[in-house]
Amino acid sequence: MRQPGSSGTPVILATFFVAALLQVLPLPEVLERGRPEWITMVLIYWVIALPHRVGVFWGFSVGLFQDVLTGSVLGQHGLALAVVSWLSLAAYKRLRVFPPLQQSAVMFMMIGSGSLIAYLIQDAVGRAHLAPLWVLLPALVSAVVWRPVFGLLRLIRHRFMVR
């Protein structure tokens, strides 16, 4: 039986807040280039877990929040995360049943696509500072840490009965 107020929106927002903190946490310069895309991973998880509630609008909104948070070109992450959300919505039924290694490979492709879209926008306005291949390093690191992040978010979703 569903209890009043158990929709879980505050829990979803809290996970995005924690991901945002991890996204801007100061790291040594050597580790900075390989920082996982925390916000993108959390977004993909919620799209896969709750496709009827979290979708493209969430992706665009969270992306705009990330633009403001990181001082990026306004709309850069908004567009990138909207596309990633759309890709996740298109494939969520398959992603749920993929084995872990295959799921991580798909995460690399989806997060990498979002990163390349953000890079193209930065390049178009003259703010790209890295070679395009360096842009894929965070996507690779994100794919490696995807399964533990997935497990933690799933535990949170079940613990707080997010539906």
Mean pLDDT on 3-21: 87
- Digit-coded pLDDT (tens) for 91-113: 999 999 999 999 999 999 999 99
- Digit-coded pLDDT (tens) for 123-144: 999 888 888 889 999 999 999 9
The answer to whether 84 touches 46, Cβ cutoff 8 Å, is no
Percent of the chain with pLDDT over 70: 96
Copy the structure tokens of residue 163: 């539906």
Q: Tell me, what's the pLDDT at 1?
A: 43
How far is the C-alpha of 34 from the C-alpha of 142, rounded, in Å? Answer: 9
Q: Does residue 2 have a pLDDT over 70?
A: no
The answer to whether 63 touches 80, Cβ cutoff 8 Å, is yes
For residue 154, give the amino acid letter: R
